């Protein structure tokens, strides 16, 4: 065997990577070995006949090249073969032709370029490992609450950094409309999606998803965190209004009261975090009729007809309750539909007006999309339309004036007849 050469303390030289990247010892040793083999393959054309031995306790690396002993003058590939004379002179006097001769390689003697190449290769492999670690960590945390400091804010997105300097991207569409960010602000959001295109992890966070509202309630309401109260459904229009249905596993706990807190102490913090988004907390029930009634609060419903197969509900209310059920811009009924999973149509109760007629009766004369637009603003019957100012029909239902005039003419003819 060749005489022992001075050890090169490579693992010690690259220990700063371990400290900076927080890579465990076993992985670090494996990466070092792969890096040495990568450089060896570039220098010798292959690393197949090399043994790379990492000594973690000593913090060094030993490299051995295995060569086939051939007769003198017949060496065709010096990276794979060695002559008999050279092998015997290399501290292996008893070797014979056809045997394997092992030569120890002093990597440091390959010069500064080889060392630099090794360092660059190692840095690249560790960077890839770090990216994989970030992706795997945050992929498992999708839907969880995180906090970050605003590092930069642009027109279309904001860049947040957490305490470990991990980067979160908060796109404009995932921001609450009234959000304003300044450098240094602390922002809470949920991890919405983690992409890893071209091994470049990208962590997208959101403040508009329903999951964000769920996590805020878990944070503020201990009974939810402890599993005594469960959130059954959430519907929200970020920055404006939200509805959340809760249920208690303990009959002694009022789920709505627990979520709201004494004098609103618990929910006020959530409302502030959501930029004064109004939040309706209701008791969940598996009875769809009762659930829809609660979801349409504060409107008081007279009658409900539901079709479980089509998930469709027809809700009848007194005329003065219709606007409450629909809400400003149709928001209340929209959120109620999202919360319950039912398509909800609101109708005025006609018990006191037997002459009135529902608009759906006119679908052979009036296009269905026009009927739907009128129903969306609470005009589900002929008299409701006729009693609504013409300009309101144009503006609120977003219809052309000619269309409104045509509808009014058809409905007036019904009662003239």
Q: What is the 3-state secondary structure (H, E, C) of 320-353?
A: HHHHHHHCHHHHHHHHHHHHHCCEEEEEECCCCC
How many whole angstroms separate alpha carbon 114 and alpha carbon 101?
24
pLDDT at 14 exceeding the cut of 80: no
Please give the pLDDT value at position 121.
79
Q: What percent of the chain has pLDDT over 90?
A: 43
Question: Which 8-state DSSP code applies to residue 167?
Answer: E
Segment of 34-38, 73-77, 355-359 carrying the highest mean pLDDT: 73-77
How many whole angstroms separate alpha carbon 172 and alpha carbon 170?
7
How many other CB atoms are there within 10 angstroms of residue 131's CB atom?
A: 15
pLDDT at 145 exceeding the cut of 80: yes
Region 169-183 average pLDDT: 94
Segment 333-358, tens digit of pLDDT: 999 999 999 999 988 776 555 567 77
pLDDT at 191 exceeding the cut of 90: yes
The dihedral built from the CA positions of residue 293, 299, 302 and 306, taken in this order, carries a sign that is negative
How many whole angstroms separate alpha carbon 325 and alpha carbon 314?
12
Segment 98-134, tens digit of pLDDT: 999 888 887 776 777 877 877 787 788 878 888 888 8
Q: Pairing between strand 167-171 and 202-206?
A: parallel
pLDDT at 2 exceeding the cut of 60: no
Are 244 and 212 in contact by the 8 Å Cβ rule? The answer is no
pLDDT at 256 exceeding the cut of 80: yes
Tell me which residue of 291, 277, 278 sits closest to 245, measured CA to CA: 291
3-state secondary structure of 360: helix
First CA to last CA across the chain, in angstroms? 116
How many whole angstroms separate alpha carbon 156 and alpha carbon 188?
18
Please give the pLDDT value at position 284.
95
pLDDT interval class at 1 (50, 70, 90): very low
Count Cβ neighbours within 10 Å for each residue of 171-193 and write b for 16 or more, e otherwise.
Answer: eeebbbeebebeeeeebbbbbbb
Q: Which residue has the higher pLDDT, 94 or 9?
A: 94
How many whole angstroms separate alpha carbon 333 and alpha carbon 346?
8
How many whole angstroms separate alpha carbon 9 and alpha carbon 2?
20
At 375, list the tokens: 């129903």
Domains in the chain with CATH codes = 10-136 (3.30.1480), 141-207 (2.40.50.140), 209-284 (3.30.300.20)
pLDDT at 6 exceeding the cut of 70: no
pLDDT at 162 exceeding the cut of 90: yes
Compute the mean pLDDT over every residue in the chain, rounded to the nearest whole number.
86
3-state secondary structure of 43: helix
At 318, list the tokens: 């007194």
Sheet holding 343-348, edge to edge: 301-307, 312-317, 343-348
Count Cβ neighbours within 10 Å for each residue of 58-74 and write b for 16 or more, e otherwise.
Answer: eebbbbbbebbbbeeee
Are 170 and 192 in contact by the 8 Å Cβ rule? The answer is no
Please give the pLDDT value at position 9.
47
Please give the pLDDT value at position 335.
96
Tell me which residue of 2, 29, 11, 35 sits closest to 114, measured CA to CA: 35
């Amino acid at each position: 065997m060749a005489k022992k050469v001075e050890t090169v303390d490579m693992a010690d030289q690259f220990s700063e990577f371990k400290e900076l990247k927080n890579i465990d010892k076993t992985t670090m040793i494996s990466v070092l070995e792969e890096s040495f083999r990568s450089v060896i393959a570039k220098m010798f054309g292959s690393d197949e006949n090399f043994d790379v031995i990492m000594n973690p306790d000593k913090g060094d690396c030993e490299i051995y090249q295995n060569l086939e002993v051939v007769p003198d003058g017949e060496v065709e590939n010096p990276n794979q073969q060695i002559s008999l004379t050279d092998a015997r002179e290399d501290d292996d006097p008893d070797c014979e032709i056809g045997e394997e001769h092992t030569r120890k390689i002093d990597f440091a003697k390959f010069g500064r370029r080889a060392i630099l190449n090794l360092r660059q290769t190692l840095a690249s492999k560790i960077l890839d490992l770090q990216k994989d670690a970030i992706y795997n960590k945050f992929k498992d945390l999708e839907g969880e609450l995180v906090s970050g400091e605003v590092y930069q804010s642009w027109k279309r997105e904001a860049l947040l950094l957490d305490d470990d300097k991990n980067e979160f991207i908060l796109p404009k569409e995932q921001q609450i409309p009234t959000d304003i960010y300044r450098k240094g602000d602390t922002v809470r959001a949920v991890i919405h999606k983690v992409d890893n295109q071209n091994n470049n992890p990208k962590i997208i966070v959101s403040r508009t998803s329903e999951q964000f509202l769920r996590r805020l309630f878990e944070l503020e309401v201990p009974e939810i965190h402890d599993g005594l109260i469960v959130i059954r459904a959430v519907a929200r229009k970020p920055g404006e209004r939200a509805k959340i249905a809760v249920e208690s596993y303990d009959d002694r706990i009022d789920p709505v009261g627990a979520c709201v807190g004494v004098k609103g102490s618990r929910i006020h913090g959530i409302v502030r975090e959501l930029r004064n988004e109004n939040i309706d907390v209701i008791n969940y029930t598996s009875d769809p009729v009762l659930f829809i009634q609660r979801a349409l609060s504060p409107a008081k419903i007279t009658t409900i007809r539901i079709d479980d197969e089509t998930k469709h509900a027809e809700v009848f209310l007194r005329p003065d309750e219709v606007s409450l059920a629909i809400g400003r811009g149709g928001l209340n009924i929209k959120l109620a539909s999202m919360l319950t999973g039912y398509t909800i149509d609101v109708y005025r109760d006609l018990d006191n007006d037997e002459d009135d007629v529902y608009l759906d009766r006119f679908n052979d004369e009036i296009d269905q999309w026009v009927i739907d637009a009128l129903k969306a603003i609470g005009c589900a019957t002929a008299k409701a339309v006729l009693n609504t100012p013409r300009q309101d029909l144009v503006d609120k239902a977003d219809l052309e004036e000619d269309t409104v005039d045509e509808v009014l003419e058809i409905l007036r003819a019904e009662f003239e007849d």
